[in-house]
């Protein structure tokens, strides 16, 4: 029976590329979205055209009850869940003196609380199966910070701590928990960049190019595979060398 993967925020960008890559790897997919229904439907249709099963589910994973419903829908649709990719996130450039408490709460809930909510909801099924993969999408900003997104840096750094703790707790159930910290990737986050700004970004990266969503998806594919059986609690930097630890 094919394994089942759920990718939060998978209608666009890294999430979309990840869903398509996992489908190519033989997984059936739950495609999650909040606003981009048309794009989510297109992802589902693309996956089905490749011979895999897929359904799209609208759910705001920054809210516990919706994250729980998303996981339950996945299990109801396919009978199981094997791989959870916590990808959903928002990045809106705001300096501290303009950042409101409401913005902080909403962004931290989307970027960090959603990781806890979806993981908690998936746990009973992963533990029962005795195997699973949880892959959390963080950011290199968790390491280097930023001058216009303290809430983003804090939430992405929080993912790293959560990943290490959850990995230790869930290892006894043969469930691995890892994180990926991408650098600049050509998604909607960089949509406001001028061509010159993008060239500048590329010049600052040792490998001299901005990342593609597929670059991150390939690493998700590895962490979801049997080849990563002895890797847990780690964070892989996927950034062309722009931050090294």
Interval 31-62: pLDDT, tens: 999 999 999 999 999 999 999 999 999 999 99
Q: What is residue 94's three-state secondary structure?
A: strand
Interval 179-215: pLDDT, tens: 999 999 987 776 667 778 778 888 989 999 999 999 9
The CATH number covering residue 153 comes to 3.40.50.720
Cα-flanking dihedrals φ and ψ of residue 235, to 5°? -125, 125
- What domain range is 160 assigned to? 4-238
Q: Is residue 76 part of a domain?
A: yes
Q: Is residue 243 part of a domain?
A: no
Q: Is residue 245 part of a domain?
A: no
Interval 137-185: pLDDT, tens: 999 999 999 988 999 999 999 999 999 999 999 999 999 999 999 999 9
Buried residues in 143-168 as b, exposed as e (16+ CB within 10 A): beebeebbbbbbbbbbbbebbbebbe
- Give the CA radius of gyration of the chain: 17
Whole-Å CA distances, 213 to 23, 47, 160, 219, 224 = 15, 17, 20, 10, 17
Q: What are the residue numbers of the active site?
A: 152
Q: What is residue 223's three-state secondary structure?
A: helix
- The mean pLDDT of 107-128, rounded to a whole number, is 98
> Token pair of 67, please?
């994250």
Q: Please give the Cα distance from 57 to 195 (Å, whole number).
A: 35
């Amino acid at each position: 029976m094919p394994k089942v993967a759920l990718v939060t925020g998978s209608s666009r960008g890294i999430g979309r590329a990840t869903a398509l890559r996992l489908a190519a790897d033989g997984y059936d997919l739950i495609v999650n979205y909040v606003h981009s229904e048309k794009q989510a439907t297109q992802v589902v249709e693309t996956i089905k055209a490749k011979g895999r099963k897929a359904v799209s589910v609208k759910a705001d994973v920054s809210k516990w009850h919706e994250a729980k419903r998303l996981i339950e829908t996945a299990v109801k649709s396919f009978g199981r869940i094997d791989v959870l990719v916590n990808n959903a996130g928002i990045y809106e450039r705001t300096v501290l003196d303009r950042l409101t408490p409401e913005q902080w709460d909403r962004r931290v809930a989307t970027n960090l609380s959603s990781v806890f909510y979806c993981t908690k909801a998936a746990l009973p099924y992963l533990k029962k199966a005795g195997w699973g993969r949880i892959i959390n999408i963080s950011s290199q900003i968790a390491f280097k910070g930023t001058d216009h997104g303290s809430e983003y840096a804090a939430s992405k750094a929080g993912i790293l701590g959560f990943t290490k703790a959850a990995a230790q707790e869930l290892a006894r159930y043969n469930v691995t928990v890892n994180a990926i910290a991408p650098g600049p990737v050509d998604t909607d986050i960089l949509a406001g960049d001028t061509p010159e700004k993008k060239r500048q970004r590329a010049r600052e990266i040792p490998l001299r190019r901005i990342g593609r969503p597929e670059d991150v998806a390939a690493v998700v594919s590895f962490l979801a595979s049997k080849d990563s059986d002895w890797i847990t609690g780690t964070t892989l930097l996927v950034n062309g060398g722009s931050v090294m630890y």
